[in-house]
Chain A
Amino acid sequence: MESLLNGFEAFQRYYLNWQIIQETFPLLLRTLPIVGQLLVFSMFFSFVLGLVLSLMRLSRLRAFRWFAGAYVDFFRGLPLLLNFVFVYSGLAIVGAASGLRFLILPSIIAAVLSLSTTYAAYSAEVFRAGIESIHRGQMEAARSLGMTYAQSMRYVVLPQAIKIVIPPLTNEFIALIKDTSLASVISVQELLFTAKEKMGVVANPTPLMVAAFVYVIFTIPLIRLAARLEKKQERGSKGGRPTGGDTTSALIPADIAAQLPKGGGPLPL
Chain B
Amino acid sequence: MTTASTMIELQDVHKSYGHLEVLRGIDLQVTKSEVVVVIGPSGSGKSTMLRCLNALEPIQRGTILIEGIDITDSKTNVNRVREKIGMVFQSFNLFPHKTALENIMLAPHKVKKQPHGEVQKIAYDLLVKVGLSEKADCYPDQLSGGQQQRVAIARALAMQPDMMLFDEVTSALDPELVAEVLNVMKDLALGGMTMVVVTHEMGFAREVGTRMIFMDEGVIVEESHPREMIANPREERTKKFLGMVL
Contacts and interface: CB of A to CB of B under 8 A. Distances in A.
Interface of A: 135, 137-138, 140-148, 151, 155-156, 159-160, 163, 239-246, 250-256, 259-260, 267, 269
A146 B43 contact: no
B47 A151 contact: no
Contact of A151 (B51, B110, B172): B110
State the 7 A-B residue pairs at the shortest beta-carbon distance, nearest first. A245-B91, A145-B107, A141-B93, A146-B83, A137-B93, A253-B43, A144-B87
B22 A160 contact: no
Contacts of B43: 253-256
Nearest to B167: A251
Contacts of A256: 17, 20, 22, 43, 48
The contact size tier of chain B is: 35 or more
B47 A251 contact: yes
Contacts of A250: 89-91, 172
A242 B55 CA distance: 26
B156 interface: yes
A244 B141 CA distance: 10
A251 B141 contact: no
Interface in B202-237: none
Most B-side CB within 10 Å, residue of A141, A160, A244, A267: A141
Given A140-B56, A143-B56, A147-B110, A251 B85 contact: no
A243 B48 CA distance: 21
Nearest to B22: A256
Interface in B112-168: 140-141, 145, 148, 152, 155-156, 159, 167
Contacts of B92: 243, 245
B55 to A, nearest CB: 8
A160 B96 contact: yes
Contact of B93 (A151, A243, A254): A243
Contact of A146 (B44, B89, B90, B107): B107
B82 A163 contact: no
B242 interface: no
Contacts of A144: 54, 56, 82, 85-87, 156
**B-side interface mostly:** mixed
Contact of B79 (A135, A146, A241, A252): A146
A159 B148 CA distance: 20
A253 B111 contact: no
9 contacts: A141-B89, A141-B155, A143-B56, A145-B156, A146-B83, A151-B110, A163-B97, A253-B43, A260-B17
B90 A245 contact: yes
Contacts of A135: 91, 93
B198 to A, nearest CB: 11
Interface of B: 17-18, 20, 22, 42-44, 47-48, 51, 54-56, 79-80, 82-83, 85-87, 89-97, 106-107, 110-111, 140-141, 145, 148, 152, 155-156, 159, 167, 172
Nearest to A146: B83
B52 to A, nearest CB: 12
A141 B167 CA distance: 12
A121 to B, nearest CB: 28
A243 B22 contact: no
A146 B78 CA distance: 8
Nearest to B155: A145
A240 B110 CA distance: 26
Contacts of B55: 269
Contacts of A160: 95-97
Contacts of B140: 242-243
Contacts of B51: 251
A251 to B, nearest CB: 7
A12 B173 CA distance: 70
A1 to B, nearest CB: 66
A155 B106 contact: yes
Contacts of B93: 135, 137-138, 140-141, 243-245
A145 to B, nearest CB: 4
A121 B232 CA distance: 64
A156 B93 CA distance: 11
A247 to B, nearest CB: 8
Given A137-B89, A146-B80, 7 more contacts: A143-B56, A147-B79, A148-B79, A156-B95, A160-B97, A245-B91, A269-B55
